[in-house]
Amino acid sequence: MSTESLGPTLLQLARTAIAGEFGIPAHAPVPLAATEAPGFSDIPAALSQPGACFVTLTQQGALRGCIGSLEAWRPLADDVRANAVAAAFRDPRFAPLAAAELERTRVEVSLLTPAEPMAFASEAEALAQLRPTIDGVIFECGGRRSTFLPQVWEQLPEAHQFMAQLKQKAGFPADFWSDSVKLSRYRVEKWKEA
């Protein structure tokens, strides 16, 4: 099955989960054209397989919440629903979403590939391996961890800048480096409401 046909279903699951928290039906339903797409019968199977996703909420292009899973540990449908609700109500950077905001909020779902560890001997070597707009990156050191989805390259197009912000997100200074730093990268397939 092409994962492309999953997109509309994942967006609808996310929006319905958020709307359900308010006790209202999902507005502006995503067209579920995938129901006619070849492989549609595989969608229920794909939704029941373990999957890792991030759900990003925006309003007029500005971030309004983003929460996700880096590892596939529960059925994809459950991961989408849980991360949608968490992005709307538990992202510590934002106040919980209000019911009045839902209509003007756009949902994006990013389906992650399994993360692959990177091998490098220095920060310069690590930076040289990064592929802007392709790689999502996980930074780990001293029990702290942070990640940026590939979409973040749009705001931070330089690898050095991208890494500096990733380190700060993990609670380290922008110029921090240690031999104990671990980096992994992943790719995403993403779908966004119009």
pLDDT at 4: 73
The predicted structure's pLDDT at residue 40: 47
- Position 133 scores a pLDDT of 96
Q: Where exactly does CATH 3.30.700.20 map onto the chain?
A: 3-112
CATH 3.30.1490.150 correct for 116-189: yes
pTM (2 d.p.): 0.88
Architecture of domain 3-112: 2-Layer Sandwich (3.30)
Residue by residue, pLDDT tens for the chain (194 residues) are 457 789 999 999 999 999 999 999 875 444 433 333 334 458 889 999 999 999 999 999 999 999 999 999 999 999 999 999 999 999 999 999 999 999 999 999 999 999 999 999 999 999 999 999 999 999 999 999 999 999 999 999 999 999 999 999 999 999 999 999 999 999 999 999 98
Residue 102: count other Cβ atoms within 10 Å of its Cβ. 20
* Alpha carbon distance 5, 45 (integer Å): 13
Q: Quick one: pLDDT at residue 91?
A: 97
Structure tokens at 107: 């949902």
> In the chain, where does the domain assigned CATH 3.30.1490.150 lie?
116-189
Best CA proximity match to 114, nearest among 70, 158, 172? 70
Helix axes 76-89, 7-22, angle to 10 degrees: 50
In the 3-class helix/strand/coil scheme, how is the chain assigned residue by residue? CCHHHHHHHHHHHHHHHHHHHHCCCCCCCCCCHHHHCCCHHHHHHHHHCECCEEEEEEECCEEEEEEECCCCCCEHHHHHHHHHHHHHHCCCCCCCCCHHHHHHCEEEEEEECCCEECCCCCHHHHHHHCCCCCCEEEEEECCEEEEECHHHHHCCCCHHHHHHHHHHHCCCCCCCCCCCCEEEEECEEEEECC
pLDDT of residue 189: 95
- Least Cα distance to 14 among 62, 60, 80, 67 occurs for 80
Contacts of 59 (CB under 8 A, 6+ apart): 101, 104, 105, 106
